[in-house]
Structures are given as C-alpha cells and as structure tokens.
C-alpha cells in the first residue's frame, strides 16, 4: 500500500464518519410519526423581505402573502430595497408593503440588509408588537396555508422553524432541476428526519421563521457571513435552541438556470461554509464530543463533502501525473480516479432517485423532465468539486442573482386547490 492508497483510505474513512449516518435519515423520514400539535394560538407576524433589483418578481410574493389563509390583520409585510437601481421599492409599495430603502455599497449582502431592516422596525414599532418574524427572498411564492401552518408549529413551542422548499422552475433545465431536487432532498430527508428524531434542523437561505425572543437573544440580526443562514443555524445550535420543521409550510423558490449564475452562487455558499466552520467549527465539534448530536450534524453540514471529494480527485490526478513522470503504469491512478467519480455519481443518483420517487407528485414538471433530470442530477452535484476547490483559494463577495420567473401566484393557488380536491375525494 503506497502513500496514495493511504490518503484515499483516510478520505474514505472521513466520508463514512461524517456522512454515513444521513442514510439512516431516509427510513426515519418514511416511518417515524409526527408528534401531535398543541392547542393553536394566534400571533402577530412581521414578514421580512430583502430585495435588490427584484421589480419583476416581488409583487407575486407579496400577493401570495396577502392571500394567506391566516388572518390578514395579523401580518405586516416589510421590504428592504437594498441598493436598488430599478423600481423594486415602488412596486413593493404599490403592492401593499412597508418599504425601507438602503444604499450602502460597502456592507453588501442579505445579512447587512436584514440587520438594517430590524433596526428600522425596532424604531417604528413597539418592542412587543410582533410575536415573530418570517424571512423570504423576493422570488419566492408561498402556498396559501404557509403562515397558518407555521403558526401551528410556533404554537407547538418551536421558536425557530424552517419549511418545505419546492421550486417554481424545476423543469427549466438541468441546473434548475439539480438545485430543486437537492432542496427537496434537504426538506424531506434531512430536516424532516431531524425533526422526527428530535434533533435540530437547519435553516436554508429562505422561508424560515424565528420568534421575538430569538431576535432579542441575538440582538436582531448580527449574522453577516456569506452564508448568514448557516451562521444563524450554527449560533442557534450552540446556544441550545432547537430548530423545528413544518412540512406543510410550502414555499416555491426560483432556481438559477445559467451555469455562470450557479457558479457564483455556489462559490459564495462554499466560501460561506468555510467561514462558518472557521468561526464555529471548533465549538460545534467540542459540543458534539460532549454528546450533542445536533452539533455533530451541523459540524458535518458545514464541512462540505465536495471539499473531501475535491481532495480525492486532486490526489488521484496527482498520482497519475507522478506515475507518468516516473515511467510507471498510470492504471492504478486512473482506476482510483474513475472509481471515485463512479462512486460519487452512484451515490448522488441513489439520493436523487429516492427523493424523486418520494416527492414525485409535489414536483411541478413534466414526467419526461423528472426522469431525464434524475440522470443529470449527479453531474450537477459533481460540479461542486471545482466550486469547493476554488472557494478555498479565491476571495469571494456577495453578488445578486437576477430573477425573472415571475410565476403567477394565481396559477399556484389553482394547482393547490386541485390537489386539495383530489385528496378530498380520494
């Protein structure tokens, strides 16, 4: 056994230690039962939306909020028009939101915009006016029962809650489908399983809730890393706050369709994960060593599997180069390289297949698109390898993604009502 075999063995062991447990989440999501709800209480909510040049989509989100089944008088919508050069503020204001404007080219990113939004709300409203806060991205559309379902989970005692993240444009191309299937997997076989097992879930970008007590505990929104949602999750786990999951709170999200957009977004995510691990990794591992599984789960989540994969690919590529330079057979290195790629593809295909079969009826795409993009899903996930490698060395800044899939909220309500009728007469 040479040095390359030893390194591959170590990488394989690291994968097993940090990620094999997630396969046990699959049967947990299928077979464990959700606990019964407590008596439901009525609460007053603030909806927080940070938007940068989102005039094409923000009205649809606000419309879907205004058409919630939850009592409309208990929902107040706030928009932070963040460094906008278009009509986002005007469109949001005309749609019924309270709009604040922020122009700060130095402090870029959603974290800073949320912090500023909290500051404005605390100045304009009494401390106890809102019981909790929702955070959405401007391109989202909500199922009309979203806030009603979240309120039910809040009444159950959960003060940080994430919901079910579906997609508006699953079938647009292999990139949007790759994102969509991954987020469906995250909802169904990570967060739902964590919730059913009594562990803390993880907040993922958009579509989450936290109570006034949580906001006061953290002093508003002091999370400014490139992945402020993961930073918030890590801080919550370290402070013994359990994040709940509400499977019936469904949000539709727009996914990137251009590889350049996807590269920039995932580069930011990969760099942000590294930032969070640098800031919280040591404490998470320490807490995990004390027996806190949620801390271990979170530490695993912010140690990107793609980084280990990238290391494996680099090691085996170097092995081939060394063998060729020394006049030795390159077959062992080529075999290990191909074996690594095949292992990644097979694992991702299995994850995608299970998710697709489980969530088939919830995916709004044609049958052919669902099947075809299952085979491209592992390829999409493998593109994280160069992304993660680049994030380790590049300076990364937050960059906005232009959203244009202004899906009609009425179309989604029609689909939801059709689904309800099917269930009623089934």
pLDDT at 413 over 70: no
CATH of the domain at 252: 3.90.550.10
What's the longest Cα–Cα distance across the chain? 77
Instruction: Give the tens place of pLDDT for each residue, 204-228.
Output: 889 999 999 999 999 999 999 999 9
**What pLDDT, on the 0 to 100 scale, is given for residue 396?**
83
Enclosing domain of residue 152: 46-256
Residue 245: inside a domain:
yes
More confident residue, 49 or 320: 49
DSSP 291: T
**What pLDDT, on the 0 to 100 scale, is given for residue 18?**
82
With a pLDDT cut of 70, the percent of the chain lying above it is: 92
Please name the helix (run of DSSP H) or strand (run of DSSP E) that holds residue 250, with its range, or none.
strand 243-253
**What pLDDT, on the 0 to 100 scale, is given for residue 108?**
86
Q: What is the average pLDDT value for the chain, to the nearest integer?
A: 89
Instruction: Provide the β-strand partners of residue 81.
Output: 51, 101
pLDDT at 20 over 90: no
**For 50-54, 201-205, 413-417, which range has the lowest pLDDT when averaged over its residues?**
413-417
**For 77-81, 85-89, 103-107, 236-240, which range has the lowest pLDDT when averaged over its residues?**
103-107
Residue 61: inside a domain:
yes
How does residue 327 score in pLDDT terms, banded at 50, 70 and 90? confident
pLDDT at 409 over 70: no
pLDDT at 254 over 70: yes
Q: How many residues does the chain have?
A: 426
Residue 148 burial (CB count, 10 A): 16
* Domain total in the chain: 1
Q: What pTM was estimated for this model as a whole?
A: 0.90
Residue 244: inside a domain:
yes
DSSP 361: G
Residue 77: inside a domain:
yes
Q: How many CA atoms lie within 13 A of 103 on its CB side?
A: 4
Q: What is the mean pLDDT of residues 352-377?
A: 97
Q: What is the mean pLDDT of residues 290-317?
A: 82
pLDDT at 90 over 70: yes
Residue 220: inside a domain:
yes
**What pLDDT, on the 0 to 100 scale, is given for residue 1?**
57
pLDDT at 133 over 70: yes
Q: Which one, of 378, 337, 412, lies nearest residue 167 by Cα?
A: 412
pLDDT at 414 over 70: no
Q: What is the mean pLDDT of residues 175-197?
A: 97
Residue 323: inside a domain:
no
**What pLDDT, on the 0 to 100 scale, is given for residue 364?**
93
With a pLDDT cut of 90, the percent of the chain lying above it is: 71
pLDDT at 275 over 80: yes
More confident residue, 106 or 326: 106
Q: Which one, of 224, 218, 208, 44, lies nearest residue 125 by Cα?
A: 44
Residue 251: inside a domain:
yes
pLDDT at 8 over 80: no
pLDDT at 426 over 80: no
Residue 307 CA to residue 311 CA, distance in Å, equals 6
Question: Can you give the three-state secondary structure of 49-101, one letter per residue?
Answer: EEECCCCCCHHHHHHHHHCCCCCHHHEEEEEEEECCCCCHHHHHHHCCCEEEE
Q: What is the mean pLDDT of residues 253-267?
A: 94
Residue 131: inside a domain:
yes
**What pLDDT, on the 0 to 100 scale, is given for residue 105?**
83
pLDDT at 407 over 70: no
pLDDT at 308 over 60: yes
pLDDT at 198 over 90: yes
Residue 366 burial (CB count, 10 A): 11
């Amino acid at each position: 056994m040479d040095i390359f075999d030893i390194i591959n063995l170590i990488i394989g062991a690291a994968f097993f230690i940090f990620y094999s447990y997630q396969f046990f989440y699959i049967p947990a999501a299928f077979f464990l039962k959700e606990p019964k709800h407590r008596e439901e209480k009525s609460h007053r909510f603030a909806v927080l939306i940070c938007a940068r040049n989102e005039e094409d989509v923000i009205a649809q989100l606000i419309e879907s909020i205004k058409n919630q089944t939850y009592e409309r008088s208990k929902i107040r919508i706030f928009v932070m028009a963040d460094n906008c050069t278009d009509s986002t503020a005007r469109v949001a204001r005309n749609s019924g939101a309270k709009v604040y404007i922020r122009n700060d080219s130095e402090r870029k990113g959603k974290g800073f915009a949320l912090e500023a939004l909290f500051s404005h709300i605390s100045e304009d409203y009494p401390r106890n006016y809102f019981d909790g806060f929702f955070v959405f991205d401007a391109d989202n559309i909500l199922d009309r029962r979203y806030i009603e379902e979240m309120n039910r989970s809040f009444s159950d005692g959960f003060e940080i809650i994430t919901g079910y993240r579906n997609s508006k444009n699953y079938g647009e191309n292999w990139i949007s489908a790759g994102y969509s299937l991954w987020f469906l997997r995250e909802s169904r076989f990570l967060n739902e399983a964590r919730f059913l097992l009594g562990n803390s879930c993880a907040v993922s970008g958009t579509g989450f809730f936290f109570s006034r007590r949580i906001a006061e505990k953290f002093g508003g929104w002091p999370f400014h890393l490139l992945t402020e949602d993961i930073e918030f999750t890590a801080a919550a786990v370290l402070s013994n706050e359990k994040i709940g999951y509400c499977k019936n709170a469904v949000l539709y999200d727009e996914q990137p369709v251009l590889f350049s957009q996807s590269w920039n977004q995932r580069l930011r995510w990969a760099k942000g994960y590294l930032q969070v691990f640098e800031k919280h990794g040591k404490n998470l591992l320490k807490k995990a060593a004390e027996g806190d599984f949620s801390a271990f789960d979170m530490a695993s989540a912010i140690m990107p599997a793609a980084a280990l994969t990238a290391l494996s690919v680099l090691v085996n590529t170097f092995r081939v180069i060394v063998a060729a330079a020394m006049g030795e057979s390159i077959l062992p290195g080529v075999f290990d390289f191909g074996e690594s790629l095949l292992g990644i593809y097979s694992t991702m295909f299995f994850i995608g297949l299970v998710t697709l079969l489980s969530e088939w009826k919830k995916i709004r795409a044609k049958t052919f698109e669902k099947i075809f993009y299952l085979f491209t899903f592992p390829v999409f996930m493998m593109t994280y390898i160069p992304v993660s490698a680049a994030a380790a060395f590049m300076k990364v800044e937050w960059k906005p993604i232009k959203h244009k899939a202004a899906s009609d909220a009425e179309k989604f309500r029609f689909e939801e009502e059709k689904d309800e009728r099917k269930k009623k007469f089934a």
